[in-house]
Structure 1
Amino acid sequence: MKKMFHLLILTTLLIGCDGAGKESVDSDKLRRDPPETELTDKDLRKLTKEAILRFRTGNNQETYALIHHSLKDFDAYIAGENTFNYSNRTGFDLTIKVPAAQFDSLLNYIVNNANINELKNKSIQINDVTEEFIDIQARINIKKEAEQKLTELLQQSGNLSVTLEIQKQLTDLRADIESVEGRLKYLSDQVDYSTIRISFHENTKYSKRFFVDLWDALKNGWQVFLHVLTLLANLWVVVFVFFLLRFGYKYYKRRIEDRKNNHR
């Protein structure tokens, strides 16, 4: 039993202190001497790409149709879409996800074929996440090794308190592994699919909106008038008391003036 307890303490220390040290050493070693299966050439580096494209177009619907119809040719899809309608312009905000290999091709196709009257902004950001990718993989390997050791201890344990302690550590360790694997999956998705954020708009002449705005203003004015009437109806007691007090004040003031005139 003492031997089992000592093994449990040793495993806990491996998960904690030695785990952190080993994680750092392994990740440094991987960066210096990457495995043959990883990073054998520049094509295997982990890069995330994001482009921002903002422009004014001559026709919103034509531009939207061109972008939408082109996505299938590049295996891309719209991950987010928003329309806006202001007094002087209307347009679309699109978030497009495209395979990393098709990122440049799709971006160039849109720039060259969309009805762009004025290019407001075009920017591309590329982040190298290779180092973080390797670090996460090393952390997962270390934690899984510790999980295997705890599992072996659990199978050998014959003491209830030791068994419960091992199970608790296993539960915490598996939660950590799932969390780290979730981060790895997120990074993988960002690497596999690049992001293109497009915002385009079409200027609107106010003369085209004048009668619409005028009609809306007339309707809003009528609604305000009805609200005022409703408010007065709800406050009829206050209005009645106000006029009653005003009438009483005038009556009292007139009586005072009549008395003064009689004394004269």
Structure 2
Amino acid sequence: MKKILHIIGFVSFVLILGIVFIVVWSTGKMPKTSQQTSYAPTIATSMGIPMGIEMMDQAQQKDMLGNGTSAEDRAKIGPKIIKNGSLTIRVSQLEQKLDELTGLAKDLGGYIDESRISDSGNNRTAFATLRIPSNKFDEGVSAIRKMALVVFDQYTNSEDVTAQFVDLDARLKAAKAEEAQYLEILKRAGSIKDTLEVAARLGEVRSRIEQMEGELRYLRDHTDYATLSVQMTEETSIAAPTRTWKPWETLKQSFQGLIIALQVLIDILIVAATFLIGFLLPILIILGLIAWIIRRLISPS
């Protein structure tokens, strides 16, 4: 009898242990199931706490983004053109022309972004970068050409970034809408785990927002203001030589030249006389002796 009771007790213990294991296992699996079906793309659920961050993804984001480069969007924003140009010119007065460039930029509603002057002997050059409103770009190029004595080189370039601008603007709006949803989710998060997950996603969204805002600022700056680089070289002027008339000095130099010429002539005569006395005189004496001897031989008397 005791043996039967022991068997029944053991079987009951095994059954109870199995039931507990099944309950614990089922409880451990439930969060994963709910994680896949909660946090719906909409902010509210029947519990009032949206869950399932992973479910707010690509399909809804595509709906929020839409077709960001539609003709209607392009018409609303208008054309976005980045204009750049450069001029290499020769001018007469470097500092004055650099001041004129500064005044030109201000008159057109822009500014000088950078300027410098380089002086290397007779070769003086200046460089300036103008930022002027894009709608005044052609006017600025024409005014600079009028300043130049010679235009060595001119380059202009235009890049249409309207589609890029519209796309960035649409994605930024979608990201801000996503940020607002995550902020609402964060208010309703009921557990630490949910709060941490939402905060992490919110940080990612805000990072993308900052990046897109930076890109939009760059595009706005370069489409609103054109960049025009100007390199100037100064025309070198050759001064005519000047001479002061000094007749007295000229007379003195003439007398000095005459005296020097006479000295040279006398030196030549001295050299010639020395040559005659030292070289020709002995020869003449010898020739005279030979002639005298021959004459004595021919004439016995």
TM range (shorter): 0.5 to 0.7
**For residues 67-86 of structure 1, what are the structure 2 equivalents within 5 Å?**
67-86=101-120
TM-score (norm 1): 0.66
Return 5+ residue gaps in structure 1 as ranges.
208-264
Do the aligned residues in 2 keep the contact of 1:143 with 1:173 (CA within 8 Å)?
A: yes
- Report the identity percentage: 22
Larger Rg: 2
- 1:177 corresponding residue in structure 2: 209
CA distance in 2, matches of 1:12, 1:143: 16
Higher relative contact order (CA 8 A, sep 6+): 1
Q: Cα gap change, 1:200/1:172 in structure 2, threshold over 3 Å: closer, same or farther? A: same
Q: Which residue of 2 aligns with 1:188?
A: 220
Q: CA deviation at 1:157?
A: 1.0
| Counterpart check, 1:99 vs 2:108 | no
TM-score (norm 2): 0.58
The letter for the 2-side match of 1:34 is E
Contact 1:99 1:192 survives alignment (8 Å): yes
Is contact 2:35–2:52 with CA below 8 Å preserved after alignment? Answer: no
SS at match of 1:45: coil
Cα distance in structure 1, aligned partners of 2:130 and 2:154: 15
Q: Which residue number corresponds to residue 62 of structure 1?
A: 96
Matches within 5 A, 1:1-264: 2=34, 6-7=38-39, 10-15=52-57, 17-18=58-59, 21-22=62-63, 26=66, 29-35=67-73, 38-39=74-75, 44-112=78-146, 114=147, 116-204=148-236
Which amino acid is 1:118 matched to? V
Q: Post-superposition shift, 1:69?
A: 2.4
Distance 1:12 1:130 in 2: 33
1: CA distance, partners of 2:213 / 2:35: 33
Residues 86, 228 of structure 2: 8 Å contact kept: yes
Cα RMSD after superposing both structures: 2.7
The residue type equivalent to 2:161 in the other structure is V
> Could you give the per-residue CA deviations for residues 53-93 of structure 1, whole angstroms, max 9, x where no partner exists?
11122221232232222233211210111221224411211
Residue equivalent to 2:278: none
